[in-house]
Amino acid sequence: MLTTMPLSGQSNQLENIVEIEAAYIRHLMEYTRWPESAGTNNRPLVLGVVGKDTAGLGGVLEYGISEVALKIKGRPFQLKKFANAKAAGVAGCDALFFLKSEQGLVDDLIKSLKGKPILLISNISGFASKGGMTGLAMSDGPKVHIIIEVNRNALKESKMDLSAKLLGLKKGVRIIKE
């Protein structure tokens, strides 16, 4: 599940990172347990991508849904794109990925969605430390390592959890708050 990618070819690097982030988002949703009250058991899960998508993450996810027929928990999932976090429908998603364009709004976004059974994910630096549920952090060096940062307190407040299969990984997962 965890991926390391050598830094070669500057033009392909961003494209590869976006594809890896899309895979991580899908896996995070696969290993998430929503409360029964969220009603996710009998319908497709809805993933929202929020912000200005300059890297093309939404396109990679759309390709996975339409061309590869990716599934989450054995069911098809839906993708919704939102120009910003104030757009109508954001709170109706099961998971939200906040793009870096929303960095200045992170504190307000987390406060407005606190306690709701919506998996909050971002690659914004320090997202999980600020109250987000899961952050995708990249290490520096000759190889890029994506580390999943998990804020267990934020998950518990929303009556959600991540599978022990994910949390038990010795490498690639960092628990921010217990």
Domain ranges within the chain, ordered by starting residue: 4-177
Please state the rounded mean pLDDT for residues 82-107.
88
Superfamily of domain 4-177: Response regulator (3.40.50.2300)
| 93 — pLDDT class (breaks 50, 70, 90) | very high
**Dihedral-angle region of residue 51 (phi above 0 means left; psi in -120 to 50 means alpha; beta otherwise):** left
CA–CA separation, 166 vs 173, rounded Å?
8
pLDDT above 70 for 178: no
Helices (H), 4-151: 10-30, 57-66, 106-113
pLDDT above 50 for 8: no
- Are 52 and 91 in contact by the 8 Å Cβ rule? The answer is no
Give me 45's structure tokens.
Answer: 């899960």
| Element housing 155 (H / E) | helix 152-157
Please state the rounded mean pLDDT for residues 55-61.
81
Q: Which of 2-16, 59-73, 76-90, 95-109 shows the lowest per-residue confidence on average (mean pLDDT)?
A: 2-16
Q: State the pLDDT at residue 4.
A: 38
pLDDT above 70 for 148: yes
Comparing 23 with 119, the larger pLDDT belongs to 119
Residues in a beta bridge with 79? 47
Q: State the pLDDT at residue 65.
A: 77
Q: State the pLDDT at residue 63.
A: 79
Please state the rounded mean pLDDT for residues 146-158.
92
- Cβ neighbours, 10 Å, residue 117: 20
pLDDT above 70 for 3: no
Q: State the pLDDT at residue 7.
A: 38
| 67 — pLDDT class (breaks 50, 70, 90) | confident
